[in-house]
Amino acid sequence: MSRQAELRDSVPDEADIERRYAGIRPLIPSSTGEALAYSLPTGLDLDSSVRSMPGFHAVGDTIGAHYARLEIALRGETRGSMNETLSCLSGIPGRKMRWTLKMYRLYVFLALRLKLVGWPTDIPFMNLSQITGFDRISRIATLWASGQMHFEPVTDEEHRAALNNPLTCAPAPLHFGIAPYLGRSDIKKRKYRPKKDPLDLRQGRYVRNGPKSARWVSQMAERRADMGM
């Protein structure tokens, strides 16, 4: 069994997740104790846990990775497995999956020469945290755990195509594209000079406080400007 298959097997199925998080009780916390108990499985001594950690949580300590909802657990398990698979296949520790087309193209497709294959065609490619609904999250997690969604090496032809047209490397037909670069937000704005004017006392001859218009100008606003409205 390959290392990638072993990492996929580490993602639990729905039955395993239900058994693991069966003790989580949905409640509206009315106190600090209930708020902590909301993240603890049944049977854990909350009082002893709180007493052993001054201020409830010592620096760097956590009670445990217990999720409030199953879909949140699936997101975390799938995201972690993808990150570990990328590190294993690329041979570079700490590599992570990127969830925007721009970052995915730069740091996964071009840099690691790996591509994600098998993303559902009816779900837009985006961050797992932005995909709502247990059915959609469980579907993505199942595709990844079964191996239908996986990483493959990028060919030289695909690499050259992605350099010329970024949209060719999209892992799914539905995505949000790559937003154009709109420039810096401080264009024509007076900047602080720590050496020449450390107290920022210099008064300029003209007011320069940055762009006056919005980053995006709609067609309606443009027509109104042409009409003098």
Domain boundaries, the chain: 69-180
d(CA 152, CA 126): 19
**What topology does CATH give the domain 69-180?**
GTF2I-like repeat (3.90.1460)
Sign of CA dihedral 123, 126, 129, 130: negative
The residue with greater pLDDT, 170 or 9, is 170
Give yes or no for a contact between 117 and 150, defined as CB atoms under 8 angstroms apart: yes
Q: Is the pLDDT of residue 90 over 60?
A: yes
C-alpha closest to that of 56 among 45, 47, 65, 67: 47
137, 126 contact by CB (below 8 A): no
Q: Using DSSP, state whether 225 is helix, strand or coil.
A: helix
Encode pLDDT of 94-129 as tens digits. Answer: 899 999 889 999 999 999 999 999 999 888 999 888
Token readout for 160 is: 């050259």
Tens of pLDDT, residues 132-161: 888 888 899 999 999 999 999 999 999 999
pLDDT band at 14 (very low <50, low <70, confident <90, very high): low
pLDDT at 20 over 80: no
Structure tokens given for 51? 């007493």
Q: Per DSSP, what are the bridge partners of residue 153?
A: 114
Cα 95 from Cα 89, distance rounded (Å): 10
Model-wide pTM > 0.75 = no
What mean pLDDT value characterizes the chain? 75
Q: Token pair of 61, please?
A: 């300590």
Paired strand residues for 150: 117
Give the Cα separation of 176 and 166 in Å (integer).
12
Task: With CA atoms as reference, report the closest residue to 82 among 143, 163, 159, 28.
Answer: 143
Report the C-alpha gap between 150 and 4 in whole angstroms: 8
Give the pLDDT of residue 39. Answer: 38
